Amino acid sequence: MTAENTASHLTLIETGSQAHPEELTSSIQIDGFSAYYGKNCIISGLTLDIAHKGVTCLLGPSGTGKSTLLRWLNRINEETENASFTGRIKTLGLDIMEDYPDVTELRRQIGMVFQQPCVFPCSVYDNMLMGLRHLKLSKAEARETIKGSLKRAALWDEVAHRLEAPAISLSLGQQQRLCIARALVLKPKVLLLDEPTASIDPISSRAIEDLVVALGETISIVMVTHNIAQTKRVADHVVFMCDGKIVEQGSRNHMFSLRTCDKTRTYITEEFCDC
């Protein structure tokens, strides 16, 4: 990767353009990736390409390293004690370690929303402002950006009249959508979702699922879930993981057909029986 490339790429992000380099067909390329906690190997030798648009679901039982993988994509796992990885991850053509000496740059291009809705103890508006404050935007610009993001997150109609209310007063489902909207202000190319509906009631979950599908039309979304029905509703592409390895991956139609391998089919159908 040349310096020129890096610079042009950065400008691209800073101006928040929706364009993306034509030559890239995948937003994230993972190559020979292994993740460890101390000496414990959680993921071994994983290789995966994630499309530059659409929703990719990482599906699989708990404890198979889905979240760990996701948390390495924006290097938030660096903050965890004893966590390390080997292999290579490229986002939008850039290596997340070598090409980002400053991890903050990386995180501004890859949004992330966690399992538990986490709004900061301040107003809705200030929550939205959190990632923007340092761009030195004018008040009007900031307001426009925030309004745009809230609209994209389908939350604008619900909070337009209470932007100054404490964010904690929103319902849990709204809080989670606020978290998504908050990540969207930076106009990320990739959005990571770590079981975003796990702690939310079914009806609010559906609202978030609809939102995820809509966002998938413009950006690349990687979502960890172990909810099969949800995967069926939102995924364009499904990656089934077990014990730190990819068992099988493919389009939604493929994965939910009966042409999959035994292991996948068992997992998927058994869950169906439970539902």
Site residues (CB under 8 A) for other proteins?
A: 10-11, 14-15, 74, 76, 78-82, 102, 104-109, 111-114, 116, 118, 120-122, 130-131, 133-136, 179, 182-183, 186
DSSP sequence for 116-137: S----SSBHHHHHHTTTGGG--
Beta partners for 88?
A: 31
- Give 49 or 126: the residue with its C-beta nearer to other proteins: 126
- Give 186 or 219: the residue with its C-beta nearer to other proteins: 186
Which pair of structure tokens corresponds to residue 272?
């169906």
* Minimum CB–partner distance for residue 131 and other proteins (Å): 4
Residue whose C-alpha is closest to residue 113's, from 192, 209, 188, 31:
192
Tell me how far apart the alpha carbons of residues 11 and 183 are, in angstroms, rounded to a whole number. 19
Beta partners for 111?
A: 191
Q: Compute the CA torsion angle 78, 80, 82, 84 (nearest 10 deg).
A: -30
- Give 82 or 138: the residue with its C-beta nearer to other proteins: 82
- Give 78 or 243: the residue with its C-beta nearer to other proteins: 78
- Give 71 or 237: the residue with its C-beta nearer to other proteins: 71
* Minimum CB–partner distance for residue 27 and other proteins (Å): 17
Residue 220, φ and ψ in degrees, nearest 5: -95, 130
- Give 159 or 186: the residue with its C-beta nearer to other proteins: 186
* Minimum CB–partner distance for residue 174 and other proteins (Å): 16
- Give 192 or 235: the residue with its C-beta nearer to other proteins: 192
> 114 near 104, Cβ under 8 Å?
no
Q: Compute the CA torsion angle 218, 223, 227, 231 (nearest 10 deg).
A: 30
Cα–Cα distance list, 103 to 27, 74, 98, 183, 250 (Å): 18, 8, 10, 16, 31
Beta partners for 250?
A: 238
